[in-house]
Amino acid sequence: MAKHRTIAVVIDLEWTYQHHHGIYQGIQEFARQNKHWNCFLSPWLDGTDLSEKRLAGRPIDGIVARATSQMAADAKRRKIPIVNVQMGAPVPNVSVVQPDRFAVGQIAAEHLVARGFRRFAYLGFRACMCTKTQLQGFRQTLANYDLKSSAMITGHNFSSDPDKWKQFVDSMGRVIRSWDAPVGVNVTIDLLGRYFIEVCQRHGLRVPEDVAVVGTQNEQVLCLQGDPTMTSIDLGYPRVGYRAAALLDQMMDGLAPPSEPILVEPKELIARQSTDALAVDDPLVAKALEFISQHSHEPIDVEDIAKGVATTRRTLERRFESTLQRGVGQEITRMRIERVKRQLVETNTPLKILVGESGFTDEKQMSRTFARLTGVTPGAYRNKRRK
């Protein structure tokens, strides 16, 4: 039988963001599967806690924490293994488990390139390791297509008082006014992404037609409650917490701490309205895409779209094939499926109701088309993304 262990989980859960709650969820999942773990949550842990062995009257056997240098030094003196889950804040000689931010930048770039964008920008924080690493992944991926990205950098305290907020809005406005739209933008966290969308709209830019935005972290309130809803990359924080707990368990068994950070692959990109557009140079095709986006939930066909943009069916189909290498009907179907995907993840709407809200004629047609294009049934898609 495994020896019972007392684990200090040092995470401040007053912060509502996923990088706190999600990591805690993953740690607790490991503890449930390994009954010899007894976890005690504390927002702080200092030398006094360690020396007096105050956790449930037992010595602390290991620590998973958003670690500080002082905490690490106290743990080292008492030979207590510690794993750091602080994002972008490495502590020397302390093992760290964190999301692979380089891969996040790669995923964002691939998503925007696939939607036809050829001009790009990245918005992040000054002196931030997460921003630096994610920007590297973003730029390196774009370079594979002979494309480049500018960078917009702000301080972490950009919204801390009225003056700093005005400076942020003004500086973003100057950059935005210099752009030749459309532009695809990746943002280092969703909060900054939501504010950025608001600034774009203040300056008359449409999201996603003029500016497409990919956030990071998939914070539900920030991504779902604004208009438009925001595409974001789920970093899989519960998996980060679980992996950190597993590493700590191995270290308490005598495994030498890894010399390099353990990087956890992002879970997935969840596409929403902020990137629900295709960047094209042909004005007729661009107008048709906007028409499809606005009416794809209705029983429209190619003739309806041609009439809506004042052209002939033949001209429209020829321009679509030339610009997008696919037909108008295929684009109608693609946008309908994207609408169904969002509804499956964001709502509890039954499939039979989704049919009427997505433009398909019946549930069988919708399910068959969905499975053909995604490889899974609508029900399986919903279940997987809600785990």
- pLDDT interval class at 353 (50, 70, 90): confident
Two domains, one topology: 5-98+237-255 and 101-236+270-275: yes
- pLDDT interval class at 35 (50, 70, 90): confident
Q: Which of 109-118, 197-206, 375-384 has the largest mean confidence? A: 197-206
**Domain spanning 5-98+237-255 has what CATH number?**
3.40.50.2300
Is a pLDDT exceeding 70 seen at residue 61?
Answer: yes
**Domain spanning 283-385 has what CATH number?**
1.10.10.60
Give 304-313 pLDDT, tens digit per residue. Answer: 999 999 999 9
Angle between helices 363-374 and 378-385 (to 10 degrees): 60
Domain ranges of the chain: 5-98+237-255, 101-236+270-275, 283-385
Quickly name the fold that domain 101-236+270-275 has. Answer: Rossmann fold (3.40.50)
Give the mean model confidence (pLDDT) for residues 84-108: 88
Contact 188, 124 (CB under 8 A): yes
Give 130-147 pLDDT, tens digit per residue. Answer: 999 999 999 999 998 899
Q: Which amino acid is at 95?
A: S
